[in-house]
Structures are given as C-alpha cells and as structure tokens.
Amino acid sequence: MNKMNITDVDLNLLKVFEALHEESSASRAALRLGVTQSAVSAALRRLREVYGDPLFVRTGRGLAPTLKANQLKPVVSDALNKCRQSLAMVDPTANHYDGRAVTVGMSDDFEIAYGRRLIEEIARSAAKLRLIFRQTHSQIVAQALMDRSIDLAITAGGFAERLLSRQVLGEGSYLCLVDPLSLVEGQQHISLEEFVAREHILVSSGGFIGITDEGLAAVGLSRRVCASTTHFAALPHLLKGSQAVATIPAHAARSIAALTGLALLPCPLALPRYPIELGWRTSTQLDPVVLKVREAIVASFA
C-alpha cells in the first residue's frame, strides 16, 4: 500500500465502507446512501487502493468482508459516529438519528421477550434510529463490547472489565414450558417427581449441564437431557408432540407461551435468581445516540 495522507483521501469513502459492511451488498448500500450502484462500485475500487486490500469479496450471498475489513469496521464507524455526535452538539434539538444504528448484544431469550418493546420505545423517542440485535451471552459479551462489535449488551452479568460500565435492569427467575397435551386436563403444576421422570430440552451455549442440573444435584437427583440447543426460538418445535420439559428464564417462557400455546408451569425446583444487567463501554458515555438507546432499554425493562 502506498503511503497515504488524510488530505489525499475523500472521507466520503468511509460512509460507503460502513454501508457495504453493514448491508453486504453494493445495491443495498447504494439504496441506503441514495446514490447509484456504479458510484458505490467506483468507491469500493478507491477504498481498495487506499487500504491495499480487497475489503469485500463476492460470495453466493453477497459481499463478505475480509479480515482487514472486519478490523477496520469498528474504527471507521467510531469515527463516523463521532462526526454525527458533533452535529448533535451543534444542534441538540435536531434529528440526527437518520443513518445511525446501534448494535445491542443479547441472547435470543431477551430478544424474544424485549425486542419488540425496545423497537417501539426507540420509534417513540428516536425516530429513524435503527437497531441491530446481535447474539451474545455472558461468557463472550465483555470481549464483544471491547472489540466494538456491539455497542450495548443485555445479559445475566459478564461485565467485569475495568473499561466497561453496567446497570442492573432487574432480576431473573425460571419457569417451565411443556406441550399442553402432555398434561392432564386442568393441571397447572408439575411435581418434582414428574419433573425428574420427564425428558428435558436444554438451552445452552455449550454442553449438557445447566443450572437445573446443579439444583437437582444439590438434592441428590438428576434428569435426562435428550437434546441441547443454543436457541430459545427452537423450543416450540422441539417440545410440541413430546413429553419433554424446558426450564428457561421466566421472561422468555412467558413470551414463548403467549405466542405458541405451550403450557407455562412453575418450576418445582428452587433455583437461584440472577441479575439482568445492561453493559456498555465507559468511553461511549457521552454519545447521545447510545445514551438514547440505553434510556430506551431501561424503560423497556421498567
């Protein structure tokens, strides 16, 4: 790559880079930016010259970013967001949300339970601001925030790093989901004996041991996990037509039961409650757009 000086570079190319990375398509990036596809293609050629890298390669599903592009993305978006932030400082009453997107990391239990509520809250308080929901969990969330692949995160903890800030949103508990056809008519509870006798579906980021197994072991019992999945959204398909039970966070259990008709039951086993936390990079404290989404998340959980 030739030595580059910022005075020799058209900084509008950075907006094209961001759009290409987020849309994975030259045509969609063009629509987003309000320019022609040929203009985006020309900008991509210039970007490749600037960075000495292909940046995006064509695949069967559009344009895929190279390693270099993925490394550049958080730096480029951070720079553009600082520019957008500066406009809000000049005129705080103006709508500077158009073109902004905030990435919120969460597992799909939170997305199922709170995603729609958060979208509606943002529509009321920051019209035109877009949300990106990205899968994460407590074991990887801190690194995702530090890598700037997400701006905010909702998890059951995981924010121990010195450069991260956090806020407790509430406290979580557990409920059980079963196919209503597996219950006797009018049954609204499941005994611990029946609970242990049934097969179980586990939602986990890895392995076949969960909080329920730890709780059972404490009272000298065990269960048989017939299958494990990483997605809460799969549970209706895995439970219907079976005798299986899934013990999951109460917020997701209520939402899934309401949408699918699965039966919602109290967990017969005493399981510990856990904090639900919102985390963010402390360095984003002054970004009014990230702050707006933080406020919307807090309102959604209230």
Q: What is the pLDDT of residues 168-193, one digit of tens each?
A: 999 999 999 999 999 999 999 999 99
Amino acid at the residue 257: A
Q: In this structure, is the dihedral angle defined by the CA atoms of residues 124, 129, 130 and 132, taken in order, positive or negative?
A: negative
For 183, the token pair is 């219950």
CA dist., res. 268 & res. 81, Å (int): 49
Radius of gyration for the chain, computed over Cα atoms and rounded to the nearest angstrom = 23
Please check the confidence at residue 205 and state whether its pLDDT lies above 50: yes
Beta-carbon contacts of 113 under 8 Å, excluding residues fewer than 6 positions away, are 251, 252, 254, 255
Per the listing, tokens 């907006």 go with 15
CA dist., res. 80 & res. 111, Å (int): 27
Q: Concatenated DSSP letters for 141-176?
A: HHHHHHTTS-SEEEESS---STTEEEEEEEEE-EEE
CB 33, CB 12: distance < 8 Å: no
CA dist., res. 66 & res. 267, Å (int): 47
Beta-carbon contacts of 225 under 8 Å, excluding residues fewer than 6 positions away, are 199, 200, 201, 202, 208, 213
Please report which confidence band the pLDDT of residue 88 belongs to, taking 50, 70 and 90 as the band edges.
low
Maximum average pLDDT range among 46-55, 134-143, 283-292: 46-55
Per the listing, tokens 């996990």 go with 225
Q: What is the pLDDT of residues 18-34, one digit of tens each?
A: 999 988 999 989 988 88
Q: What is the pLDDT of residues 212-238, one digit of tens each?
A: 999 999 999 999 999 999 999 999 999
Please check the confidence at residue 94 and state whether its pLDDT lies above 80: no
Amino acid at the residue 254: R
Beta-carbon contacts of 189 under 8 Å, excluding residues fewer than 6 positions away, are 265, 266, 268
Q: Residue 84 has what pLDDT? A: 74
